[in-house]
Each structure stands twice: as structure tokens, then as C-alpha cells.
Amino acid sequence: MARRPVEKTDAFTAGEAPHAGWFLIDDWMNFLPRQTRTIVLPHPAEHVMASIRRVVRPPHTAVDASSDWLFNGVVSNRSFSVSRKLSAYQNFLPMMNGHLEDTSLGSILFVRYRMFGSSLMFLIFSSCLIMAVGLFFLIMDSNLPYFLFSLALLAINYVVAIASFNRQVSISQRLLEGALNHFL
């Protein structure tokens, strides 16, 4: 049987934007970074999960320098929760939660990318702190330029966080799709 490439489509659930996490005026309710992805595979779910298990290192296991694992995490019967293996710390690395379903012609992999809780708390805390400083300048000091500077700093903080998250999601997606194409 000839190997067919993985088909990729973006899937969205209620409240998730087709722009994959970027803040737009028409989607102001979805300001927290998250993405979903649907991957249609021509292979049965058992083969897909076996190929995912080959590249995932369970938590709290010894690290072998020659191993070819790409992700850290947990793989169960039809789902997984993993993050990319790192050599250097990345603040906005996504957690990948996947669920696999059988179809008559293969399987469908649903993957959700979300920010780790600590990174999300950092983003919220820094945003609240910047806003509090800006409000202090506006209310206590009646200094509009400092308030506007704080708002600009808040926007820059958010844009940098979203851009970093989206970059890390892109890298993680390429690794997952490469592993699926390689082992299937």
C-alpha cells in the first residue's frame, strides 16, 4: 500500500477563531491563545497510536541521549497529552492534547494546543500589573501620557506572547506531523 500524505485541516469549535489564536476585533472573546487541528489519516487508530507512542517519553523516565523521542507526556488508549522535548526552556510552549477516532477509511486525530498553566498565569499577571500601573498613573497622577504608554506596553506584551505561542505551536505541529508521516 502506497503511503499517502497526512491531510491537514483546521477545525474550530465554538469560540475558537480561524486565525489560530491572533486577536482580531471580530473575535474579542477569544483572547487566550489556543488552537485546534484535525488530521485525517488513512491508517487505523491502533497504528497511529503506536507511532505516537514511539516518539513520546513517559514522565519520570531516564533520558537516553541516543533516543529518538520527540515529546514528553502520557499516551493512553485513544488519547495523549504531550509537550515537545526541549533543549532550552521555552516560556510559551504548548501542551498538546489529542484524541483519536476510527473512521471507515482510517482515523481522525483531533489535537488541541493550549498554553501551560504557568505561562498563562504569567501572561495574566503581567497584563494585570501593567494595567494597574497605568491606572495608577491615570487616576492618582492624572498623567495621560504614562497611562497611554502603559496601554502600549500591555499591547506589546500580549502580541509578543501570542506570537511566541504561535511559533511554538507551529514547531510542535511540524514535529507531530513528521512523526506521523515517518512511522505510518
Q: What is the pLDDT of residue 164?
A: 93
Question: Does the pLDDT at position 129 exceed 90?
Answer: yes
Q: What is the pLDDT of residue 51?
A: 92
pTM over 0.85: no
Asked if the structure places residue 149 within a domain, the reply is yes
Asked if the structure places residue 2 within a domain, the reply is no
Asked if the structure places residue 176 within a domain, the reply is yes
147-166, pLDDT tens digit by residue? 999 999 999 999 999 999 99
Please write down the HEC assignment for all residues of the chain. CCCCCCEEECCCCCCCCCCCCCCCHHHCCCCCCEEEEEEEECCCHHHHHHHHHHCEECCCCCCCCCCCCCEEEEECCCEEEEEECCCCCCCCCEEEEEEEEEECCEEEEEEEEEECHHHHHHHHHHHHHHHHHHHHHHHCCCCHHHHHHHHHHHHHHHHHHHHHHHHHHHHHHHHHHHHHHHHC
Question: Does the pLDDT at position 29 exceed 50?
Answer: no
Show the domain range for 22. Answer: 7-183
Question: Does the pLDDT at position 47 exceed 80?
Answer: yes
Higher per-residue confidence, 66 vs 144: 144
What does the mean pLDDT of the chain come to? 83
Q: What is the pLDDT of residue 87?
A: 77
Q: What's the total number of domains in the chain? A: 1
Higher per-residue confidence, 65 vs 37: 37
